[in-house]
Structure formats: C-alpha cells, structure tokens
C-alpha cells in the first residue's frame, strides 16, 4: 500500500472532521435541540445526522469508489478495498447534556486493517489524527500539531484508568472486570467515550477499558493509539474494531491490563445489548 494513499486520506479526514465539528457546534447547548431515541434506546439528534451526511457527501466527491460505514446511515459498498467508518457524534449523551466530552470519529480501513484515524473534540477545539507510518499528531486550537505519545507508566497500581460508564460493565455482565480494574489502579475517572482514548494517545491517561463498542466507536482509535506507541486491543488481545469491546493502553501496561481483564471476564457477556454500546 502506498504512503500517498494513507497520507491523502488522513489529510482529507482532518479536513472533513473540522467541517463536521463546525456543523455540530451550531447545535451544541441549544435548549431547543430535539433528542430522539433509536431502536437500541441510544439518543440521536439532527447534529448526528447532518454531520454524517456532510462527511458522506465529501467522501463521495473525493473518494467515490471507497466504501462507507456510518452509525446513522449504514453501509455503502465500494470497489477500492478502502472503507470509511464514521461516528459523527461519539458521546451523544454528553453532547445533549451540554458536556464537552464528545467527539467526531473518522476511520479508514483497507482490507480489514485500520490505517487512518481522526478524533476531533469540537467543543474542546482539539484533535488527534494518525495514519499508518505517519505518526500520531495532537493539535489544540490553532497551535502547531505536536507528536502524540502514550505514557511510560509501567505498573497498573500507578495508572490513571478511564472508562465510559460503570453501568456498561454491569449491564454486560462484566462487573467483576470493572471492580478489579478500579481496585488495582491509582486513579479511575469516567472520562469516557472517544475522549478517554484520546487521553491515552496523547499521554494524559494510561488506559481506558470498554465492554461495549460498535465498529464506528473503535476504528478511528486504532491508528491513533498504535502510532502513539500504544495498543488498541479487544479483550482477547487482538487489534480489532469489530469485537464489541476494547481498550487503549500504553505499551508498558499492555500485558498487565489484559491479564486483569481476562482473569475476571464473565463468559456470558452481552456487550451488544440495547442501550449499552458506546457512543451514546
């Protein structure tokens, strides 16, 4: 695969993430914003739908033969082997409550491997972006991008752990995993959804573990964390955005955190049940 194919898609993803963020912010903290519930009981707004439409239109103009998978409008087939995976508002529950910890996720995978990822936090005006072999870059406001790197903390007892919701663990029959993680770390904080993974990729947190994820919650995160020197893994230790669960972790803690999760996992996990899966 050519570096040009990755570079061009990464640059383009940054551009459309900015455009989507500007659209989303027109609805942020609007008291008249209507909130609907989807079939899985997760919330959705006009901001989610319009932002995804915008991204799909731009992709169709620039990479018309690439496939697209989005949270709001499903899948469009392609012929190039490339597929864009879109979550216009990851953390809609935060968004509708006026909390700034929501983001736009844009991933691009080629033949099943996540190659490009962008996570933009519109209300915080910060973004991380990465492409395979291109590094991970973190930009705040109009400042020059700096390299994103994971921490070097090498003991979980010294780690800052993030998670999205303790209820996602109990609802997916994985309370034992959550309890073990909370007990074993130094600090735990519910800075979740994509923001927690962004914190790991930029060296502000050491690990985030999530029991319930869709592909659009995860695909963009893999290149970010990988290029920052860490790992995005499912609970079996595979780099996958289709497993229904996941974690971002620095390199030094990878084996210890994975061991804790696997020692306490319950076999009858229901990570995909209604209302649990991340991004809501």
Per the CB < 8 A criterion, the answer to whether 134 and 226 are in contact is no
Q: What is the DSSP string of 90-159?
A: ETHHHHHTT-S--EEEEEEEETTEEEEEEEEETTTTEEEEEETTTEEEEEETTSPPEE--------GGG-
- pLDDT at position 2, please? 73
The whole model's pTM is what? 0.95
Instruction: Average the pLDDT over 1-29 and give the result.
Output: 95
Which tens digits make up the pLDDT trace of 18-70?
999 999 999 999 999 999 999 988 999 999 999 999 999 999 999 999 999 99
Which tens digits make up the pLDDT trace of 142-154?
999 999 999 999 9
Rounded-to-integer distance, Cα 226 and Cα 218, Å: 13
For all residues of the chain together, what is the average pLDDT? 95
Which tens digits make up the pLDDT trace of 172-223?
999 999 999 999 999 999 999 999 999 999 999 999 999 999 999 999 999 9
**CATH 3.40.190.80 intervals, the chain:** 156-264
Question: Is residue 130 pLDDT above 60, yes or no?
Answer: yes
Which tens digits make up the pLDDT trace of 224-244?
999 999 999 999 999 999 999
What is the architecture, at CATH level 2, of domain 156-264? 3-Layer(aba) Sandwich (3.40)
| Measured CA distances, 274 to 22, 145, 216, 241 (Å) | 30, 38, 16, 19
> Which stretch of 51-65, 69-83, 262-276 has the lowest confidence by average pLDDT?
262-276
Q: CA 9 from chain center: how many Å?
A: 18
HSE-CB for 172 with a 13 A CA cutoff: 25
- pLDDT at position 278, please? 58
Instruction: Average the pLDDT over 86-100 and give the result.
Output: 98
Instruction: Average the pLDDT over 63-81 and give the result.
Output: 98
- pLDDT at position 274, please? 39
- CA proximity to 18, closest of 121, 94, 109, 114: 121
Query: Which phi-psi region, left, alpha or beta, contains residue 214 (left: φ > 0; alpha: ψ -120 to 50)?
Result: beta
HSE-CB for 203 with a 13 A CA cutoff: 13
Question: Is residue 279 pLDDT above 70, yes or no?
Answer: no
Rounded-to-integer distance, Cα 198 and Cα 50, Å: 24
Q: Does domain 3-147 have CATH number 3.30.540.10?
A: yes
Confidence class of residue 256 from pLDDT cuts 50, 70 and 90? very high
- CA proximity to 210, closest of 179, 239, 169, 181: 169
The structure tokens listed for 119 are 């996570």
State the virtual CA torsion across 15, 213, 64, 19 in degrees, nearest 10.
Answer: -20
| Strands annotated E in the chain | 36-37, 43-44, 67-70, 74-76, 82-90, 103-110, 113-121, 126-131, 135-140, 146-147, 160-162, 187-189, 207-210, 231-233, 246-249
Q: Which residues contact 95 (CB under 8 A, 6 or more apart)?
A: 24, 28, 45, 47, 89, 102
**CATH 3.30.540.10 intervals, the chain:** 3-147
- pLDDT at position 200, please? 98
Q: Which residues contact 146 (CB under 8 A, 6 or more apart)?
A: 137, 138, 139
Sign of CA dihedral 273, 200, 251, 218: positive
Rounded-to-integer distance, Cα 194 and Cα 8, Å: 23
| Measured CA distances, 91 to 44, 166, 195, 273 (Å) | 10, 15, 9, 17
């Amino acid at each position: 695969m050519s570096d040009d194919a990755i570079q061009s898609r990464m640059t383009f993803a940054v551009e459309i993430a900015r455009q989507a963020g500007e659209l989303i912010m027109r609805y942020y903290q609007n008291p008249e914003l209507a909130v609907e519930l989807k079939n899985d009981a997760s919330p959705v707004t006009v901001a989610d739908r319009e932002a995804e439409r915008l991204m799909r239109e731009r992709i169709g103009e620039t990479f018309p033969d690439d496939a697209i998978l989005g949270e709001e409008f499903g899948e469009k087939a392609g012929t190039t082997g490339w597929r864009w995976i879109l979550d216009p508002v990851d953390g809609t529950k935060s968004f509708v409550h006026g909390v700034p910890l929501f983001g736009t996720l844009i991933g691009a995978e080629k033949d099943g491997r996540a190659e490009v990822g962008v996570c933009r936090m519109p209300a915080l005006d910060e973004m991380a972006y990465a492409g395979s072999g291109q590094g991970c870059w973190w930009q705040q406001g109009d400042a020059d991008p700096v390299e994103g790197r994971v921490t070097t903390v090498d003991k979980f007892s010294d780690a800052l752990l993030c998670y999205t919701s303790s209820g996602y663990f109990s609802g997916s029959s994985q309370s034992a995993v959550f309890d073990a993680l909370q007990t074993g770390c130094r600090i735990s904080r519910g800075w979740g959804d994509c923001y927690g993974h962004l914190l790991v990729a930029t060296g502000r947190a050491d690990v985030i573990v999530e029991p319930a994820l869709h592909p659009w919650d995860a695909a963009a995160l893999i290149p970010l964390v990988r290029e920052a020197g860490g790992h995005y893994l499912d609970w079996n230790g595979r780099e996958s955005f289709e497993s229904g669960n996941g974690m971002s972790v620095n390199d030094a803690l990878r084996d210890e955190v994975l061991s804790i999760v696997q020692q306490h996992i319950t076999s009858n996990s229901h990570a995909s049940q209604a209302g649990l899966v991340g991004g809501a």
